């Protein structure tokens, strides 16, 4: 018991230490098989050393017919297989517990399973029984052993393929995520670059000489400023509107961009924008600061313009020579081109491309039900949080990354329109500018479709390996079965009489020694019967040795019918036989057995139509407590000679 506890503790501590050591090596997950080999190989060596120590100190005893070297080797092989199995199973499960607890659990499982194998398979059995198992028993044991080994190895191979598939899947997913993140990064740079260009143009317009001349009502200044705005509008067709709005919120100059080209809005069609959020927000800034509006739909005369026209506005205050703010310059950047480029880029993406504002509303994506929902009061609840609960919380809290959900992988990037403007911020104050979220949803079926080409070949490979190894195991079984039969035959010839099939003198002595030990241990009884044929030599001389062999065969068969299955009958040589009778009963019982034997041999034996009569002399010795084997043999032999001296065909007891 103490040896088992010592083995369990040693195995568990060894496994925990080795696992921590392997973890400290930081082996790449791509080489998970190397980590398994190092861990399993190391613990296998340690198990061999521990088993060797326990064998040398006598704390473990190999099972019958298993040498110490074989036990050490098998213990190492089993330990290697068990640890490899555990290390292939653990990665298939997701654990939320602490990493050290997982290592401890692995150590306990490894130590328990290895101890069970060593205790119940390698170290059980008794060396007291010298008899070799029958061919049937060895055949059954071989079948079970090969079947278990075959299934165990197949399980290891299957788990290895599953882990390899999982590893390849994870690598594939990582590559897809990296690809999508690079794609989103390029789109982000394009979006910020176009907004940045518009802000630079806005600052330039605010500092124009012609605009300053308009502020002091210089003749022809408005006409020259109009020409400047038209020229810029021609160069930048994405500028939907370029306007100058005075400090009262009234449009003084407005250039529209439409399908016919640049259009100067007449004075009677200029509008009051004093109540629009972009005017109030921009006018409150300091000169030189930039206002960037959220992306929304253009509104004309109080209504959303159709078809939808997404707009981003860049504006900055305009001041006169005395530093007094006189209005704002504002550019309406038509974001339709931005969204077109976004959808064009989405064609190279494997996921669903989306653009959302900082409140989680769709700007691009879900055009059928949720795009621009924030512009319509009745659809204000159509946010990402509604369709994908919990996702927006993570996306809004991080600048970039990815998130795994049941719907797939959300890969996201943050578009900060203020980032390029930090160098242009003359006031040094941090301004709030729109933030957009670029998101790609890679659905599970897309990932599964990319990996679908790998599964059939791996399945076919596993089936082929199963068949090939199964045929190999079957052939190995047949070879080993023939070896067992040959060994059993050799053993039988070495321990049995070739003529009668009874035990020979060598095996008889071993069985008698075992029975004497059992009698001593259980305080039982034992009788030894010596039998010798009378006038057997004359049969050989008169009727030939073939007749003598026939008599010996018939003699052994008749004795088998009289004796019990628990009794051991042996031919010691020539016409001399002996029988071991455990728990024989009383002396009267032994007399009945002796009389039955004598009576049986009164019937003649027929050989080649000739009647052969033989007699038998029987000597019976009853074992007494403490009597050695040599003394018991001598007593039975002497009793047999007494019976023969009395004329034969009778029996005598040793006392």
Q: What is the DSSP string of 28-50?
A: -GGGHHHHHHHHHHHHHHHHHHH
DSSP assigned state of 123: S
**CB 618 within 8 Å of CB 651:** yes
Residue 575 falls in the annotated catalytic set: yes
Neighbours of 556 (CB within 10 A): 18
- Calculate the CA dihedral of residues 95, 99, 104, 110 and round it to 10 degrees: 60
Residue 431 predicted with pLDDT over 70: no
Q: What's the pLDDT tens digit per position in 99-124?
A: 788 888 888 888 888 888 887 777 75
Same domain, 202 and 125: no
**CB 166 within 8 Å of CB 92:** yes
DSSP assigned state of 412: E
Residue 608 predicted with pLDDT over 90: no
Which structure tokens are listed for 301? 């005369």
Domain-ending residue, one of 412, 428, 449: 449
The mean pLDDT of 546-552, rounded to a whole number, is 89
Same domain, 431 and 534: no
Q: What is the pLDDT of residue 423?
A: 45
Same domain, 10 and 75: yes
Domain-ending residue, one of 449, 473, 505: 449
Structural domain that includes position 607? 496-653
Does the residue 648 lie in any domain? Answer: yes
Does the residue 482 lie in any domain? Answer: no
Phi/psi for 389 (5° steps) reads -55, 135
Does the residue 459 lie in any domain? Answer: no
Same domain, 191 and 109: no
* Helix, coil or strand: residue 297: strand
**CB 619 within 8 Å of CB 637:** yes
pTM strictly above 0.75:
no
Same domain, 351 and 229: yes
The mean pLDDT of 493-514, rounded to a whole number, is 88
Q: What is the residue whose two structure tokens read 């703010």?
A: 325
Same domain, 119 and 183: no
Domains in the chain, number: 3
Q: What is the residue whose two structure tokens read 């939320």?
A: 96
Does the residue 170 lie in any domain? Answer: no
Euclidean distance between CA atoms 282 and 269, whole angstroms:
23
Q: What is the pLDDT of residue 123?
A: 72
Does the residue 472 lie in any domain? Answer: no
Same domain, 366 and 439: yes
Same domain, 274 and 216: yes
| Measured CA distances, 31 to 18, 324, 524 (Å) | 17, 69, 65
Same domain, 97 and 238: no
Phi/psi for 128 (5° steps) reads -75, -25
Closest CA relative to residue 532, chosen from 646, 614, 655: 614
Catalytic annotation, pick one of 106, 575, 637, 654:
575
Q: What's the pLDDT tens digit per position in 327-372?
A: 999 999 998 888 888 888 888 888 899 999 999 999 998 888 899 9
Does the residue 603 lie in any domain? Answer: yes
Q: What's the pLDDT tens digit per position in 206-262?
A: 999 999 999 999 989 999 999 999 999 999 998 999 999 999 999 999 999 887 789
CATH number of the structural domain spanning residue 570: 3.30.70.270
Same domain, 43 and 191: no
**Out of 86-90, 195-199, 386-390, least confident range:** 86-90
DSSP assigned state of 120: I
CA angle (535, 537, 540) in 5-degree steps: 120
Same domain, 210 and 106: no
Rg (CA), the chain: 50
Residue 446 predicted with pLDDT over 90: no
Q: What is the pLDDT of residue 127?
A: 42
Does the residue 483 lie in any domain? Answer: no
Q: What is the pLDDT of residue 648?
A: 85
Q: What is the residue whose two structure tokens read 């806005």?
A: 202
Domain-ending residue, one of 449, 465, 485: 449
Q: For a pLDDT cut of 90, what percent of the chain falls above it?
A: 35
Does the residue 554 lie in any domain? Answer: yes
CATH number of the structural domain spanning residue 278: 3.30.450.20
| 68, burial (CB in 10 Å: exposed 0-12, middle 13-18, buried 19+) | middle
Euclidean distance between CA atoms 429 and 510, whole angstroms:
103
N- to C-terminal Cα distance for the chain? 47
Average pLDDT of the chain is 86
Q: What is the pLDDT of residue 95?
A: 66
Same domain, 124 and 187: no
């Amino acid at each position: 018991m103490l040896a088992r506890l010592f083995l369990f503790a040693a195995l568990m501590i060894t496994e925990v230490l080795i696992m921590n050591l392997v973890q400290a090596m930081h082996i790449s997950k791509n080489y998970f098989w190397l980590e398994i080999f190092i861990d399993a190989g190391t613990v296998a060596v340690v198990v061999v050393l521990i088993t060797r120590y326990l064998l040398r100190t006598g704390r473990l005893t190999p099972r019958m017919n298993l040498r110490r070297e074989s036990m050490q080797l098998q213990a190492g092989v089993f330990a290697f297989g068990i640890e490899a199995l555990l290390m292939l199973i653990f990665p298939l499960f997701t654990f939320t517990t602490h990493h050290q607890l997982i290592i401890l659990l692995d150590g306990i499982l490894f130590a328990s399973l290895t101890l069970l194998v060593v205790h119940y398979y390698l170290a059980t059995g008794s060396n007291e029984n010298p008899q070799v198992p029958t061919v049937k028993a060895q055949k059954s044991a071989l079948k079970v052993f090969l079947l278990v080994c075959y299934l165990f190895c197949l399980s290891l191979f299957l788990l290895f393929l599953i882990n390899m598939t999982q590893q390849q899947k994870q690598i594939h997913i990582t590559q897809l995520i990296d690809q999508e993140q690079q794609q989103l990064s390029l789109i982000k740079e394009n979006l910020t670059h176009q907004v940045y260009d518009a802000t630079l143009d806005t600052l330039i317009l605010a500092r124009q000489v012609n605009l300053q001349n308009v502020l002091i009502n210089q003749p022809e200044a408005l006409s020259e400023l109009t020409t400047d705005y038209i020229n810029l509008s021609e160069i930048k067709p994405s500028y939907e509107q370029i306007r100058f709005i005075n400090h009262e919120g009234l449009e003084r100059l407005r250039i529209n961009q439409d399908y016919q080209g640049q259009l100067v809005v007449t004075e009677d069609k200029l509008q009051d924008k004093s109540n629009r959020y972009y005017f109030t927000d921009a006018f409150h800034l300091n000169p030189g600061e930039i206002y960037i509006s959220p992306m929304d739909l253009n509104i004309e005369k109080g209504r959303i313009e159709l078809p939808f026209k997404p707009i981003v506005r860049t504006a900055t205050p305009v001041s006169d020579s005395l530093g007094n703010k006189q209005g704002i310059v504002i550019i309406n950047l038509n974001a339709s081109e931005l969204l077109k480029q976004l959808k064009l880029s989405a064609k190279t993406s494997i996921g669903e491309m989306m653009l959302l504002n900082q409140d989680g509303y769709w700007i691009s994506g879900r055009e059928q039900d949720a795009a621009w929902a924030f512009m319509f009061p009745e659809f204000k609840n159509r946010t990402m949080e509604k369709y994908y609960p919990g996702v927006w919380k993570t996306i809004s809290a991080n600048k970039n990354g990815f998130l795994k959900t049941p719907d797939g992988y959300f890969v996201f990037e943050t578009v900060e329109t203020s980032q390029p403007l930090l160098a242009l911020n003359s006031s040094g104050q941090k301004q709030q500018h729109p933030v957009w979220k670029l998101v790609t949803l890679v659905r599970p079926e897309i990932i599964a479709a990319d990996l679908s080409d790998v599964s059939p070949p791996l399945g076919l490979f596993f089936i082929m390996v199963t068949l090939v190894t199964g045929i190999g195991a079957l052939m190995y079984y047949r070879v080993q079965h023939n070896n067992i039969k040959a060994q059993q035959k050799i053993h039988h010839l070495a321990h049995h009489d070739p003529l009668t099939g009874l035990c020979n003198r060598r095996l008889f002595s071993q069985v008698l020694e075992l029975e004497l030990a059992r009698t001593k241990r259980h305080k039982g009884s034992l009788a030894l019967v010596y039998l010798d044929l009378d006038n057997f030599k004359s049969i050989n001389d008169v009727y030939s040795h073939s007749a003598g062999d026939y008599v010996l065969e018939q003699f052994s068969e008749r004795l088998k019918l009289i004796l019990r299955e628990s009794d051991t009958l042996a031919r010691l040589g020539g016409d001399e036989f002996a029988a071991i009778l455990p728990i024989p009963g009383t002396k009267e019982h032994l007399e009945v057995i002796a009389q039955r034997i004598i009576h049986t041999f009164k019937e003649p034996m027929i050989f080649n139509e000739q009647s052969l009569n033989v007699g038998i002399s029987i000597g019976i010795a009853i074992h007494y407590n403490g009597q050695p084997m040599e003394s018991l043999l001598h007593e039975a032999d002497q009793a047999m000679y007494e019976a023969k001296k009395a004329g034969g065909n009778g029996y005598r007891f040793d006392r």
